[in-house]
Amino acid sequence: MEFQTIIEPFRIKTVEPIRQLNREERIEALRNAHYNLFRVKAEDILIDLLTDSGTGAMSSEQWAGVMRADESYAGARSFYRFRDAVRKITGFKHVLPTHQGRAAEHILFGAAVSAGQIVPNNTHFDTTRANIEAQSAEARDLPIAEALHPEVEHPFKGNLDVAALADTLESEGGNVPMVFVTVTNNSGGGQPVSMANIRAVSELCRHHGIPLFLDACRFAENSWFIKQREEGYGDKTPLEIAKEMFSYADGCTMSAKKDGLTNIGGFLALNDDDLAHDCRDQLILTEGFPTYGGLAGHDLEAVALGLFEALDEAYLRYRVRSVAYFGDKLMAAGIPIVRPPGGHAIYIDAKAMLPHIPPLEFPAWALSVVLYAEGGVRSVEIGSVMFGHQPDGSEKPAPMELVRLAFPRRVYTQSHVDYLCEVVAHVNDLRSRIRGLVIVEAPPTLRHFTAKLKPLGGALLAS
Ligand code: F0G
């Protein structure tokens, strides 16, 4: 007998209470936070889906690893465990620990990218883009056309547009220091990339003699989607699939805060000896000695274990299924989301849900704030507050107005998800009353983190 219910494949040993403010208290918290959820205190949130990064629960084995760890400055046992774990999965020769993903990006781009060059990617995550732009280089997004249409279904909507890459390398190959593929494609909805796509990109890169790097933050979730959806992979283990993905690349950057199942950590791994040498010099300058690179021995130990726990089939089945369970319920309730559900998050299409709010009155921001006011849920806007401000000071609507609800790993249960569905359905019923907002004060860059806003008409909902 095969039972249908996919349960959380763990039992709970430690609990952290969460508290429910009432609606008036949440409205007050929002007012005090200038209608910016980044400014709300975490203890005032009931269910926190701001990010899946560094917010997961570690296992009893990982905590035991924390105690076993070696905190020696140089050559710690924990480093070798970490290095061997990364090598076993990625096959890359050089492994440089960093405190998180963006530090790996900063070191790699500092060593390998110069002004005026172009780095193609399916879609750059914002820190990846910012670190390339910090070298005065161009971060060029080349997603497949389907990626820009939330309602269009595609099994591998994270794929890179191979024809567009071929054109770019044909015309500007000499100016492309490396190509990136982000698995899964976070900015494109947490959508997976197929093995066939990674292989095709790799062949093209090798033909032009250009290295391929994976932004591997969610490599285990991507492996699971390949196992589920791509012909020929159903009988392979997630580890075998991950190894094959990495075999087509020359290196990777990694935030272990995602599929490393830890609260901090990351790495840069690569095969090229000369480049690794330059990166290691930079690592010493900005992160730490090469056998700890900005992490404690206990962090290295936790990552070494977490990388393999993230590849466990029971875990991945529960992980991807619980996000899909949420997405399926929302779709059944007629709520527009990016389809199909992604690996780590559900993205609500606020442009479709709130057509009465123009983009520059920030419909996705308004929706995220109302989700908090009504249900104590924290999400993040990926829309015109995040991307609307142009370098010349003007405002331009973002391509999409999305609200991302990202799931911390091993933290919430199915009843939390059922509650979320009720909250979103309730907010959907109120949708015609939701008002836009105006920015009162904001810094010129990365304004979404600190901006102060207020609702147009003085209240979040029209009466
Ligand atoms: N690449 C991708 C695809 C990411 O999603 C992130 C982080 C990074 C790189 C940077 O890693 O945070 O360890 O420096 N994403 C988080 C998020 C912040 O909420 O999506 P980091």
Rounded percentage of the chain residues whose pLDDT exceeds 70: 100
Please give the mean pLDDT across all residues of the chain: 96
pLDDT (tens digit per residue) in 328-369: 999 999 999 999 999 999 999 999 999 999 999 999 999 999
Please give the distance, rounded to the nearest whole angstrom, from the Cα atom of residue 132 to the centre of ligand 1: 15
Please give the distance, rounded to the nearest whole angstrom, from the Cα atom of residue 25 to the centre of ligand 1: 31
d(CA 135, CA 177) in angstroms, rounded, equals 12
Does residue 119 or residue 2 have the better pLDDT?
A: 119
User: Which residue from 102, 119, 264 has its CB within 8 A of the most atoms of ligand 1, so it is best to mutate?
Assistant: 102
Please give the distance, rounded to the nearest whole angstrom, from the Cα atom of residue 183 to the centre of ligand 1: 11
Mean pLDDT for 181-207 is 95
pLDDT higher than threshold 80 for residue 445: no
d(CA 131, CA 462) in angstroms, rounded, equals 42
Which residue's alpha carbon is at the smallest distance from atom 16 of ligand 1? Answer: 53
Q: How far is CA 330 from CA 46, 88, 206, 422, 442, in A?
A: 20, 39, 43, 9, 33
Phi, psi of 405 (to 5 degrees): -115, 100
d(CA 187, CA 126) in angstroms, rounded, equals 8
Please give the distance, rounded to the nearest whole angstrom, from the Cα atom of residue 255 to the centre of ligand 1: 6
Determine contact, residues 107/268, Cβ cutoff 8 Å: yes
Determine contact, residues 271/92, Cβ cutoff 8 Å: yes
pLDDT of residue 410: 97
Burial letters 409-425, b for 16+ CB under 10 A, else e: bbebebebbebbbebbe
Determine contact, residues 225/159, Cβ cutoff 8 Å: no
Hey, what domains does the chain have and what are their CATH numbers? 23-52+312-458 (3.90.1150.10), 60-309 (3.40.640.10)
pLDDT (tens digit per residue) in 149-165: 999 999 999 999 999 99
Which residue's alpha carbon is at the smallest distance from atom 18 of ligand 1? Answer: 53
Sorted by sequence, the CB contacts under 8 Å of residue 455 that are 6+ apart come out as 35, 366, 369, 435, 436, 437
- Asked if the bond preceding 150 is cis, omega within 30° of 0, the reply is no
d(CA 36, CA 26) in angstroms, rounded, equals 12
Q: Quick one: tokens of 354?
A: 């709130």
Task: Look up residue 311 and give its amino acid.
Answer: L
pLDDT (tens digit per residue) in 205-227: 999 999 999 999 999 999 999 99
Determine contact, residues 58/64, Cβ cutoff 8 Å: no
Mean pLDDT for 75-82 is 98
Interior angle at CA 412, CA 297 and CA 233, nearest 5: 75
pLDDT of residue 37: 98
d(CA 319, CA 407) in angstroms, rounded, equals 9
d(CA 209, CA 160) in angstroms, rounded, equals 18
User: Which residue from 257, 378, 405 has its CB within 8 A of the most atoms of ligand 1, so it is best to mutate?
Assistant: 257
pLDDT (tens digit per residue) in 129-150: 989 999 999 999 999 999 989 9
Which residue's alpha carbon is at the smallest distance from atom 20 of ligand 1? Answer: 51
Confidence of residue 188 (pLDDT cuts 50, 70, 90): confident
- Helix (H), strand (E), coil (C) string for the chain: CCCCCCCCCCCCCCCCCCCCCCHHHHHHHHHHCCCCHHHCCHHHCCEECCCCCCCCCCCHHHHHHHHHCCCCCCCCHHHHHHHHHHHHHHCCCEEEEECCHHHHHHHHHHHHCCCCCEEEECCCCHHHHHHHHCCCCEEEECECHHHHCCCCCCCCCCCECHHHHHHHHHHHHHHCCCEEEECCECCCCCECCCHHHHHHHHHHHHHHCCCEEEECCCHHHHHHHHHHHCCCCCCCCHHHHHHHHHHCCCEEEEECCCCCCCCCCEEEEECCHHHHHHHHHHHHHHCCCCCCCCCCHHHHHHHHHHHHHCCCHHHHHHHHHHHHHHHHHHHHCCCCECCCCCCCEEEEEHHHHCCCCCHHHCHHHHHHHHHHHHHCEECEEECHHHHCECCCCCECCCCCCEEEEECCCCCCCHHHHHHHHHHHHHHHHCHHHECCEEEEECCCCCHHHCCEEEEHHHCCECC
Please give the distance, rounded to the nearest whole angstrom, from the Cα atom of residue 335 to the centre of ligand 1: 27
Interior angle at CA 387, CA 386 and CA 392, nearest 5: 125
d(CA 76, CA 70) in angstroms, rounded, equals 6
pLDDT (tens digit per residue) in 382-437: 999 998 887 788 899 998 899 999 999 999 999 999 999 999 999 999 999 999 99
pLDDT higher than threshold 90 for residue 463: no
pLDDT (tens digit per residue) in 249-301: 999 999 999 999 999 999 999 999 999 999 999 999 999 999 999 999 999 99
Rounded percentage of the chain residues whose pLDDT exceeds 90: 92
User: Which residue from 186, 213, 261, 264 has its CB within 8 A of the most atoms of ligand 1, so it is best to mutate?
Assistant: 186
Please give the distance, rounded to the nearest whole angstrom, from the Cα atom of residue 137 to the centre of ligand 1: 20
Pocket of ligand 1 (CB under 6 A): 51, 53, 100-102, 125, 127-128, 182, 186, 215, 217, 255, 257, 266
Determine contact, residues 293/303, Cβ cutoff 8 Å: no
pLDDT higher than threshold 90 for residue 439: yes
| pTM of the shown model | 0.96
User: Which residue from 53, 126, 185, 287 has its CB within 8 A of the most atoms of ligand 1, so it is best to mutate?
Assistant: 53
pLDDT of residue 391: 74
pLDDT of residue 392: 81
Please give the distance, rounded to the nearest whole angstrom, from the Cα atom of residue 164 to the centre of ligand 1: 25
Which residue's alpha carbon is at the smallest distance from atom 11 of ligand 1? Answer: 101
Please give the distance, rounded to the nearest whole angstrom, from the Cα atom of residue 127 to the centre of ligand 1: 7
pLDDT of residue 1: 84
